[in-house]
Every structure is written in C-alpha cells, then in structure tokens.
Amino acid sequence: MIQFLLNDQPTALEHVAPSMSVLQYLRTVLVQVGTKEGCAAGDCGACTVVVGELTGDPQNPSLQYKAVNACITPMASLHGKQLITIEHLQHQGQLHPVQQAMVDCHGSQCGFCTPGIVMSLLAWWLGVQRGTAAPDRHGIELALSGNLCRCTGYQPIIQAAEQSLRLCQDHFLQHQQEVVQLLQAIQGTPGAESLRTERGFYRPGTASELARLLEAHPQAQLVAGATDLGLEFTQQLHQPSKLIYTGGVKELTQLQDTPDQVIIGAAVTYSSAQSTLHQHFPAFADLFNRLGSLQIRNQGTLGGNVANASPIGDTPPVLLALNATLKLTSIQGSRHVAIADFFTGYRQTVLRTGEFIEAIMIPKLKADETLQVYKISKRFEDDISAVCMAIWMRREHNVVQAVRIGCGGMAAIPKRAKATEQALLGKPFSETSINLAKQALAQDFQPIDDIRASAAYRLAVAGNLLTRAHLELNQQGVSLFAEAGGTSQ
C-alpha cells in the first residue's frame, strides 16, 4: 500500500503497477486533467507537480517543496510525501499569488504549458518565502529551466514571477505544520519502510534490506530518480515486473563531508548535493546548472548517472578526473572500485547481479590541485553533452606534476585521456605543451558522428577545451568565459 497526501487529503492506494507514473495516476485514474502531458520524457515541464517532503531533524522536521516531472515519477515513490497539483492552488475562491500574477501579466496564451509553469513558480515562490530560493532573475530562470513555452514568450512569465513576490502568505505556508504532522503519521506506520505493492514495488529502508531484496529478486530493477529509467516506461513501453526504490535507503541518501573526502550516497539527488559540492569542487557544482533542468536535478541522482553508464553522462568525466571510488554493496558485503575501472564497455559496468552502488567517494582537492569542468552542448539548459571534459591537475611553478583528464562523448565509455595526460606531464602548462597534447587527443579517442556532433567537431572542441583550460588557469580570457556562466555552451 502507498500512503501519501494528495494535496491535503491522506490517500492510500493499492494495486499500483510499479511503472505507473504520477501523471498517469492523475489523468487516467483520478481524471484530474489540469496537469498536462507534453513529451512524456521529462523534457517540456508541462506535467510539473510539486512534491513536499519532510527534511532535517526527524524529531523536528520541516517541509521541503520541489518541482518534479509527473510523467516520469513512479507513483509508488510518493509514499510518505505530499503531492501538490494545479487543482489545489486556488483557496477559498482566490487564485494563488503566482496564478494571479500570471493573469495580471498576460503570462499565458494557448495555456498548454501554463499549469506546469505555475507549478514550477509555486515551488520557487515557496522556496523564496522559506529562504531556500533566490528571489532574483537568476532564481526565476533556474525555476523555469525545465518549462518550455512555445507561444507566450518568457518575458511576461518572468514579470509574473517578480510580481507574485508582492504577496508573501498562502495556504501552503499557513498549514505546513498540519502537513508535517500528517506526513509524520504516515511515516510512522508500522512496516512502511519495507512496503511492497502487490505489483512489485519495493521500498527498503536500509542498505542491508536493499541487499536482501536484490538477493531474493535478482531480476528486479533499481530505481532512484527515474529520470533515465522512467523513459523506458513512457517511450519504450517497458513494463517492469519488479522495481526496488532506493530513495528511502538511509545509507544511500546520506551525504558526508569528512576532512579528506566527500561521500555521496548513490541516491542523493543533484539538488541535495549541490551546495556541499560547491564548497569543495565549485566547477563540479556549476556543472549541475547545465545538467538537465531543475525538475531533473530535483529527482536525478549521481548514483543513477554512474550506474546508467552512458558515454554522455555528465558526472563520470568529473569523477574520473577526481579519481573517485565507488562503494559497491551486495548481500556478500562491500567492495571499493575506482571509477576508472567501473565502465567496461558501452553501457556495461563491473556491477554484479545483486550488487548496487552504495556511495561515491571523492577525495578533496589539496592547495596545489585544480579542477576545471567543461560541458559543450547546443543549449545552455536541459541539453545532453556533445563533449564533456574535466581536468584535474597538480602543478608546481606551473609545471604539471600530475594530471587526470576525464572525457564524455568521445568514446563508447566515459574515459581518461591517458596519452594527452602523458603529453602534459612534467612540462609547463603552456601553449606549446597544449599544442602537443592536442595531437595526443587523436590517439586517445576516435569519436563517433551522431546527431549531437561530428567526430571532427568533437576532437576539435576537446582540443579547444585544453586551450581554454590553459587560458583560464593563466587568467587570460577569463572575463570572456565568465559570461557563459563558467561552463561552456
């Protein structure tokens, strides 16, 4: 059984198919059709809903609201959470401040994108009131990064967002304590941690429960944010018989900041990891602003990105450059594998049956070490990389003492550029050595031609990124690049 709050109503559901999405539930089961379906692939934001979750001290939790894509969110992952839909914004005959501002500023034309945009703005508006979102233009653009509007244009929508802040009270803020209590009551339900729907959706609470479930159901698929897996259900109509959800596993949802390393549980979302990563690896955290949209980052996890083993995933090149280690766990125990040894072929990894990624361990940078991260894609937001490159270096008087270059989009797997690294090692990080290193890139990679980029483009752009890294480290051309937000477009 799944128990959650549908807006302010405690709701219990049985017989939910593991792959049933929140959008299917709203539109086909409840016939609440305010939430729209555009792409069914997490791309357009028409289906955006807001999910409220308990966070912080379990004795004294608070509510955190985030915008997510209903089309790829499994219904069963809502257990213990609040689902807020567009139908619930109006209160006592009054539009919500965000809705009223959209009307006043003419923020809607055909209206298809409007419910999704309003829900994204609601999550942002609540974040602003609670001090977790920026009230400025940047904050608004971030909030709208996953919402496409084909006819109104964004200016009136941005004006509406600004205007909505003239009011700072709504019924969500007024009733949040009641919601906290209702969610606590659901989460305190005996057996809730290991609940199982009749159609095979498992929600373990600890890593050992997860290991036991995988041992008992070796064919079950793990699901974290479902931002990759959800597309298999909506685009390829795959119907999994068993899913094991990692979002409730204590060890996998923890983030530890130790003196030597940052340890990120595999089910920690990008949004949750970003501020800690920003303290220690600003270039890595900045990359997140280019990874999917806010909705995707609110759900997608680093563990899912690594396990998916896509050659164009954004985090593996950075984790390769940082020499991260993966903690892999099964019923037999845990082992540690260097990320460089994890990928064995196109979408193949060393993960064994019954094994899962528990955590990603990233060594912190020392004073003489630098990290530079570049993503090249056609659009700034919500676009997959053509090329991603991360460069870790230790230099003494500008002479390269050690270097690791992780690349995505250049081979069948995320891969180190070992010949290029060798060409840089022991030499000054200068234009001359960069030019030699560029030639070595062709030994490291024979990229493919595809819709994102030609092989020649990928090789040329990878070489140019080495030049850019050199210019940036030597403080030349920095102002030019800063305009692009720190990561390339």
Ligand X SMILES: Cc1cc2nc3c(=O)[nH]c(=O)nc-3n(C[C@H](O)[C@H](O)[C@H](O)COP(=O)(O)OP(=O)(O)OC[C@H]3O[C@@H](n4cnc5c(N)ncnc54)[C@H](O)[C@@H]3O)c2cc1C
Residues at the site binding ligand FES, with contacts judged by CB under 6 A: 37-40, 42-47, 69, 71, 108-114, 149-152
- Can residue 35 be called a binding residue for ligand X (CB under 6 A)? no
Pick between residue 102 and residue 249 the one whose CB is nearest to ligand FES: 102
The span of 116-124, 176-184, 222-230, 421-429 binding ligand X (CB under 6 A) equals: 222-230
Q: Which of 115, 127, 156, 225 binds ligand X (CB under 6 A)?
A: 225
In 3D space, the residue among 238, 240, 242, 247 whose CA is nearest the CA of residue 213 turns out to be: 242
Which does residue 82 bind out of ligand X, ligand FES, none, counting CB within 5 to 8 angstroms by kind? none
Extended beta strands in 296-398, E state: 325-330, 333-338, 343-345, 348-349, 356-363, 369-376, 387-396
Spatial contact of 336 and 325, defined as CB atoms under 8 Å apart: yes
In 199-336, which ranges are continuous DSSP H helix? 207-216, 229-234, 270-280, 282-288, 294-299, 302-308, 315-321
- Can residue 314 be called a binding residue for ligand X (CB under 6 A)? yes
- Can residue 339 be called a binding residue for ligand X (CB under 6 A)? no
| Amino acid, single-letter form, for residue 67 | A
Any residues with CB less than 8 A from the CB of 30 and at least 6 apart, and which? none
Pick between residue 172 and residue 245 the one whose CB is nearest to ligand X: 245
Q: What are the phi and psi torsion angles at 181 (to 5°)?
A: -65, -40
Which does residue 328 bind out of ligand X, ligand FES, none, counting CB within 5 to 8 angstroms by kind? none
The CA-atom distances, in angstroms, between 442 and each of 235, 422, 446, 460 are: 36, 13, 7, 10
Spatial contact of 180 and 63, defined as CB atoms under 8 Å apart: yes
* CA dihedral of residues 47, 50, 54, 55 (deg, nearest 10): 90
- Can residue 209 be called a binding residue for ligand X (CB under 6 A)? no
Q: Which of 356, 374, 392, 429 binds ligand X (CB under 6 A)?
A: 356
Pick between residue 358 and residue 421 the one whose CB is nearest to ligand X: 358
- Can residue 291 be called a binding residue for ligand X (CB under 6 A)? yes
Site for ligand X in 240-279 (CB under 6 A): 246, 266
Which does residue 46 bind out of ligand FES, ligand X, none, counting CB within 5 to 8 angstroms by kind? ligand FES
Pick between residue 307 and residue 469 the one whose CB is nearest to ligand X: 307
Which does residue 40 bind out of ligand FES, ligand X, none, counting CB within 5 to 8 angstroms by kind? ligand FES
Shortest distance (Å) from residue 56 CB to ligand X: 22
Crossing angle for the helix pair 154-164 and 97-104, to the nearest 10 degrees: 140
Cα–Cα dist 124/160, whole Å: 12
User: Residue of minimal CB distance from ligand X?
Assistant: 304
Cα–Cα dist 124/112, whole Å: 20
Any residues with CB less than 8 A from the CB of 59 and at least 6 apart, and which? none
Spatial contact of 487 and 286, defined as CB atoms under 8 Å apart: yes
- Can residue 227 be called a binding residue for ligand X (CB under 6 A)? yes
Pick between residue 105 and residue 226 the one whose CB is nearest to ligand X: 226
Cα–Cα dist 443/408, whole Å: 16
Reading the block at residue 133, the tokens are 């979102």
The CA-atom distances, in angstroms, between 252 and each of 266, 308, 341, 356 are: 5, 16, 21, 10
The span of 7-15, 127-135, 193-201, 302-310 binding ligand X (CB under 6 A) equals: 302-310
Q: Which of 298, 305, 420, 433 binds ligand X (CB under 6 A)?
A: 305
Shortest distance (Å) from residue 68 CB to ligand FES: 9
| Amino acid, single-letter form, for residue 97 | P
- Can residue 86 be called a binding residue for ligand X (CB under 6 A)? no
Shortest distance (Å) from residue 70 CB to ligand FES: 6
Shortest distance (Å) from residue 204 CB to ligand X: 11
Shortest distance (Å) from residue 67 CB to ligand FES: 11
Q: Which of 19, 27, 35, 43 binds ligand X (CB under 6 A)?
A: 43
Spatial contact of 428 and 398, defined as CB atoms under 8 Å apart: yes
The span of 2-10, 40-48, 195-203, 426-434 binding ligand X (CB under 6 A) equals: 40-48
Shortest distance (Å) from residue 374 CB to ligand X: 14
Reading the block at residue 100, the tokens are 């009223």
Shortest distance (Å) from residue 373 CB to ligand X: 12
CA angle (139, 140, 145) in 5-degree steps: 100
The span of 150-158, 288-296, 361-369, 476-484 binding ligand X (CB under 6 A) equals: 288-296
Residues that bind ligand X (CB under 6 A): 41-43, 221-229, 231, 246, 266, 291-292, 296, 299-301, 303-305, 307-308, 313-314, 356-357, 382, 384
